Amino acid sequence: ETGVTQTPRHLVMGMTNKKSLKCEQHLGHNAMYWYKQSAKKPLELMFVYNFKEQTENNSVPSRFSPECPNSSHLFLHLHTLQPEDSALYLCASSHPLAGGPGGEQFFGPGTRLTVL
Amino acid sequence: AQSVTQPDIHITVSEGASLELRCNYSYGATPYLFWYVQSPGQGLQLLLKYFSGDTLVQGIKGFEAEFKRSQSSFNLRKPSVHWSDAAEYFCAVGAPTGNTDKLIFGTGTRLQVFP
């Protein structure tokens, strides 16, 4: 596998379910990101991890719980979601340049989440 | 605060025609600018990036973009569009804070190509 992979690609869940999204990057990057992409809205940055440490939580509701056990893996645990949480969830990774901006972010194909 | 504006939500061109997608940004320092493309059901793929140096940057798939500081713009161009270019295009500005890298995205421009 190369690049950034995400599983599952599609997920349908009820509001009382608990599920997890998985992201894996094979690029040797140190930073990983979760984004939410909803129709007609800009990509929303949710979480940022740098060297496994969470460096950004963009006021995301607690029903979304990220986990980054190592620099290659990122999870998003979901529980008691709402229908408005239905969206495409994108994972990305990058290798930050020391003392400057990050390099470009490499994106996975996304997980299409539908909450019933 | 940093922001990116893509004024055109939807653009339609004929195959073989030239293309320009507009992007304006607001950022206090020297911006780091990106264009990404997203095909249906796919993630985002980087087309090109500007960090410094030559203000005209070349990317993949025959795309180029020009950074114009005086206009706060980073418009994407292609001289001859192919049907396979139909997709959504996102402009983004890099906003590093400490050790964290953030990208601020525009709302995207959907490109439709007619044969």
Q: Least CB-CB distance to A104: which of B34, B41, B100?
A: B34
Residue A30 is given by DSSP the state: S
Nearest CA distance, B114 vs chain A (angstrom): 23
Select the more confidently predicted residue: B28 or B113.
B113
Nearest CA distance, B18 vs chain A (angstrom): 26
Contact B103 A105 (CB under 8 A): yes
What would the two tokens of residue A40 be?
């007609």
Nearest CA distance, B44 vs chain A (angstrom): 6
B58: buried, middle or exposed (CB in 10 Å: 19+, 13-18, 0-12)? exposed
Q: What is the pLDDT of residues A67-106, one digit of tens each?
A: 999 989 999 999 999 999 999 999 999 886 544 455 688 9
Contact A55 B107 (CB under 8 A): no
Q: Which residues of A88-116 are buried (b: 16+ CB within 10 A; e: fewer)?
A: bbbbbbbbbeeeebbbbbbbbbbbbbebe
Q: What is the pLDDT of residues A7-65, one digit of tens each?
A: 999 999 998 889 999 999 998 888 899 999 998 788 999 998 988 888 888 889 999 99
E strand map for A59-102: 64-70, 73-79, 87-94
User: Whole-angstrom Cα distance, residue A23 to residue A79?
Assistant: 18
State whether residue B25 sits within 8 Å of chain A by CB.
Answer: no
State whether residue B35 sits within 8 Å of chain A by CB.
Answer: no
Contact B102 A45 (CB under 8 A): yes
CA atoms within 13 Å, Cβ hemisphere of A37: 26
User: Whole-angstrom Cα distance, residue B68 to residue B72?
Assistant: 6
Antiparallel, parallel or unpaired: β B109-114 and B10-14: parallel
Confidence of residue B98 (pLDDT cuts 50, 70, 90): low
Inter-CA distances, A15 with A59, A78, A85, Å: 21, 10, 10
Q: Which of A32, A105, A106, A114 is best to mutate for the B interface (most B CBs within 10 A)?
A: A105
Contact B103 A106 (CB under 8 A): no
Q: What is the pLDDT of residues B35-92, one digit of tens each?
A: 999 998 889 999 999 988 889 999 999 999 999 999 999 999 999 999 999 999 999 9
Contact A42 B105 (CB under 8 A): yes
Find all residues with CB under 8 Å of A80, minimum gap 6, and list them: A15, A16, A63
Residues paired with residue A75 on neighbouring β-strands, in sequence order: A22, A67
What would the two tokens of residue B29 be?
């320092």
Task: Give the pLDDT score at B90.
Answer: 97
Yes or no: say if B65 and B50 are a contact pair by the CB < 8 Å rule: yes
pLDDT above 70 for A5 = yes
CB contacts < 8 A (A, B):
63
Nearest of B112, B101, B90, B107 to residue B11 by alpha carbon: B112
Task: Give the pLDDT score at B99.
Answer: 57
Yes or no: say if A10 and A19 are a contact pair by the CB < 8 Å rule: no
What radius of gyration do chain B's Cα atoms show?
Answer: 14
State whether residue A83 sits within 8 Å of chain B by CB.
Answer: no
Tell whether omega for the bond before A61 is within 30 degrees of 0, i.e. cis.
no
Neighbours of B114 (CB within 10 A): 11
